[in-house]
Amino acid sequence: MERPRKIQEAKGKLGVLLPGMGAVGATFIAGTLLARRGLGSTFGSLTQEGTIRLGKRTDHRSPKIRDVIPLASLEDLVFGGWDLFPDDLYEVSIKAGVLKREELEPIEEELRAIKPMPAVFFQEYVKNLHSDNIKPERSKRALAEAVKEDIRRFKDENDLDRVVAIWCGSTEAHHEISECHQSLAAFEAALDADEPEISPSQIYAYACVSEGVPYANGAPNMSAELPFMLELAREHRTPISGKDFKTGQTLMKTIIAPGLRARAIGIRGWYSTNILGNRDGEVLDDPSSFRSKEVTKLGVLETILNPHLHPKLYGEMHHRVRIDYYPPRGDEKEGWDNIDIFGWLGYPMQIKINFLCRDSILAAPLVLDLALFMDLAQRAGMSGIQEWLSFYYKSPMTAPGLYPENDLFVQLMKLKNMLRWMIGEELITHLGHEYYD
Ligand SMILES: NC(=O)c1ccc[n+]([C@@H]2O[C@H](COP(=O)([O-])OP(=O)(O)OC[C@H]3O[C@@H](n4cnc5c(N)ncnc54)[C@H](O)[C@@H]3O)[C@@H](O)[C@H]2O)c1
């Protein structure tokens, strides 16, 4: 990859389009609106709170990322999107119950002005939701054209310089990759033939990238990572990334597992269970949607622990993940992990983690960072898979044939080195302190 000769300035307004404006989308938008009025903090966001060391440790140069990397400012963001329900974003925020009503008061008017556009929706992909705000077009080709038209209108009406899209919609039912996803020509023919294997998220992803809009996938269902999307992204010189925001239990897993592995502590079993009562939990109550989630959640340990390199430590590990829909908890998910480990001479020990988290509070800053970094990538002339954004995902996309990097600390190192490289600073290798293979 060539270093960008010039990163275009982040001037003008940046539109952030969300296919899916539920709890995560609303919490991201409300939080950003509050932060730009100085009424809320952006904790959890690397672009707003993170620092980056530049030069040698003796240089004592660790500026804030946003002070040295040319990111769009929060003031310049304009929000829009699509949803199955027509509620404006104030109503969505109240119903989601993540933020307190009194906290939303100062931004009520701004939130009320944001109304989701009608959605592309096929019931078989999200069985537990019943929509009343869907596009009238009947054919899949016409739906893709309608989404492109929405993007152009959103850009014109808001006088935007650039647009990015982050999928914050429900988890769609698990499907395997089919013939129609293998190439752009096959996908376009399948659009014309109304092929049932084309899901709503794939139509949004196709429409966005066709319009040169960077597309990030926050859910576990397949869209950005399909072979035809790689071709499309190359053709339109547009960045794509995914998939499934890394929050909650999987975030913990990718923090703890690298530590155990670094100390050559064995793991016999890792049992994870959650209760979750928001709409996401309701959607995941359907086994086909849960299957999409299960796949991304189960994948992370393998590439961190490398059982093929350490068969005695990790070769016989049992890994289980459960999610139960439990309405009384709403967005306040509770997760339990039991980790059966063993050490010196094989003596067994246990670790218990009980995480009382808030799902959308953890996910919202990821949406902000992805919007700003995907826009940065495009202005730097980078296109296709943005592997340096693996930090944000449970199941990061990689170039074909490579395994994903799931260790949070390696992911962070990759991300920061990419930022250093983009602005012509020396990369930091931590040479002499490496413990990873
Ligand atoms: N909150 C987290 O920590 C977290 C972590 C990882 C992934 N996710 C994923 O992020 C997504 C959003 O989570 P959430 O808690 O906001 O869920 P949510 O149910 O509150 O919101 C999802 C919204 O998507 C809409 N939707 C579904 N299909 C659509 C379509 N075809 N077009 C337009 N809108 C559509 C629904 O109407 C709903 O309002 C889910 O897929 C979830 O699995 C969330």
* φ, ψ at 129 (rounded to 5°): -115, 145
Domains of the chain and CATH, by start: 14-245+361-422 (3.40.50.720), 249-356 (3.30.360.10)
Residue ranges around ligand 1 (CB below 6 Å): 19-20, 22-25, 82-85, 119-121, 126, 129, 168-171, 200, 218-219, 244-245, 247-248, 278-280, 283, 359-360, 362-363
Average pLDDT in the chain: 94
On the 0-12 / 13-18 / 19+ scale of CB atoms within 10 A, 152 is exposed
Listed range (5-9, 233-237, 431-435) with the worst mean pLDDT: 431-435
* Secondary structure (3-state) at 435: coil
CA dist 343 to 205, 347, 353, 435, Å?
Answer: 46, 5, 19, 18
For the stretch 220-251, pLDDT in tens is 999 999 999 999 999 999 999 999 999 999 99
Please give the distance, rounded to the nearest whole angstrom, from the Cα atom of residue 20 to the centre of ligand 1.
6
CA dist 165 to 121, 239, 403, 411, Å?
Answer: 17, 11, 26, 22
pLDDT at residue 431 in the model: 64
Question: What gap in Å lies between CA 93 and CA 99, rounded to an integer?
Answer: 7
For the stretch 256-308, pLDDT in tens is 999 999 999 999 999 999 998 888 888 888 888 888 778 877 889 999 999 99
* Confidence band, pLDDT 50/70/90 cuts, at residue 25: very high
* Secondary structure (3-state) at 416: helix
For the stretch 322-342, pLDDT in tens is 999 999 998 899 999 999 999
Please give the distance, rounded to the nearest whole angstrom, from the Cα atom of residue 167 to the centre of ligand 1.
8
User: At which residue do the structure tokens 């054209």 appear?
Assistant: 145
Alpha helices by DSSP H, 158-299: 184-192, 200-210, 227-235, 248-262, 279-284, 287-298
Average pLDDT of span 204-232: 96
pLDDT at residue 6 in the model: 84
* Confidence band, pLDDT 50/70/90 cuts, at residue 130: confident
Q: How far apart are the first and last CA of the chain?
A: 24
pLDDT at 432 over 70: no
pLDDT at 437 over 70: no
pLDDT at 2 over 70: no
* Confidence band, pLDDT 50/70/90 cuts, at residue 436: very low
For the stretch 29-58, pLDDT in tens is 999 999 999 999 999 999 999 999 999 888
Mutate to test the pocket of ligand 1, among 170, 206, 279, 361 (most ligand atoms within 8 A of CB): 170
pLDDT at residue 434 in the model: 45
Mutate to test the pocket of ligand 1, among 24, 150, 288, 368 (most ligand atoms within 8 A of CB): 24
pLDDT at residue 278 in the model: 87
* Confidence band, pLDDT 50/70/90 cuts, at residue 386: very high
Contact yes or no for 252/181 (Cβ under 8 A): no
Average pLDDT of span 68-83: 98
Atom of ligand 1 nearest to the CA of 279: 19
